[in-house]
């Protein structure tokens, strides 16, 4: 059992929690919590760290999932795990997960692609919630601009509630260029915009479609919005001017889901 925060493995985990560069170089991300661990594709789980208290309490559940000391569980004392964790009240189980790689063809190659395209989103909770909602609504892939908040940020990972394992996504350094690729594939591109001509429920989403969602404070950048085929708006009552990015995304995603049902 690891009992010192000076242990090299513990130091590495703390670095991976804090620094995106370290995670990127290693090609991994970290997950915490029993449910998130249970949902990890087993061929992508590289290492599992378990606190002494968690192991004593959930040993049967871990063994049922095939996790034992012989199969690579690394036991650490409770106080060491607290130092390794990104949460204030850690559950006591942490996994190192290898990243999946997706291509543009993965996202665009289906019969009627249903995509979310995110421009400069900065809130980890918003991004994670969009992933989770996208899975529920039947989205087939997500495209993010290179300046979006890190999808592998531990807070973002927690907010996805496991959707990170199953939702194909790409990070596009040239977002307008990626949108042009979508249009070449005959995928209709809709910008969620306050100046939209039609309301979102006046359009037909039976064919391939992609929705552009902008930054929480500033909306879509002009050069990104200009790439859309159509600007659409969500009608709102009262004095509300706009919706949270994750909420607006959910409204649009479930309209597509409704139409396609």
pLDDT value at position 63?
84
Q: Indicate the average pLDDT of the chain.
A: 94
Average pLDDT (54-76) is 84
pTM: 0.93
Average pLDDT (218-243) is 92
Average pLDDT (244-261) is 96
User: What pLDDT, in 10s, does the model give residues 149-204?
Assistant: 999 999 999 999 999 999 999 999 999 999 999 999 999 999 999 899 899 999 99
The tokens describing 9, both together, are 């493995």
> What are the residues whose beta carbons fall under 8 Å from the beta carbon of 109, sequence distance 6 or more?
none
Average pLDDT (131-135) is 98
User: How far is Cα 130 from Cα 116, in angstroms, rounded to an integer?
Assistant: 9
Three-class SS state of 253: helix
């Amino acid at each position: 059992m690891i009992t010192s925060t000076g242990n090299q493995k513990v130091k590495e985990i703390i670095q991976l929690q804090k620094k995106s560069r370290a995670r990127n170089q290693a090609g991994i991300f970290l997950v915490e919590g029993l449910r998130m661990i249970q949902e990890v594709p087993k061929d992508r789980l590289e290492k599992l760290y378990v606190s002494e208290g968690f192991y004593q309490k959930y040993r049967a559940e871990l063994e049922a999932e095939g996790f034992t000391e012989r199969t690579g569980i690394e036991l650490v004392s409770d106080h060491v795990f607290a130092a390794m964790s990104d949460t204030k009240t850690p559950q006591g189980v942490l996994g190192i997960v290898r990243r999946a790689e997706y291509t543009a063809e993965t996202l665009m190659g289906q019969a009627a692609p249903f995509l979310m395209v995110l421009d400069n989103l900065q809130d980890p909770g918003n991004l994670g919630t969009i992933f989770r909602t996208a899975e529920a609504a039947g989205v087939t892939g997500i495209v993010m601009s290179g300046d979006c908040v890190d999808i592998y940020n531990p807070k973002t990972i927690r907010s996805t509630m496991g959707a990170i394992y199953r939702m194909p996504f790409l990070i596009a350094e040239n977002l307008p260029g990626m949108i042009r690729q979508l249009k070449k594939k005959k995928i209709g591109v809709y910008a969620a915009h306050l100046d939209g001509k039609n309301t979102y429920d006046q359009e037909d989403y039976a064919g391939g479609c992609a929705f552009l969602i902008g930054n929480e404070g500033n909306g879509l950048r002009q050069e990104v919005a200009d790439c859309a085929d159509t600007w659409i708006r969500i009608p709102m009552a009262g004095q509300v001017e706009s919706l949270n990015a994750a909420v607006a995304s959910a409204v649009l995603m479930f309209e597509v889901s409704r139409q396609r049902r």
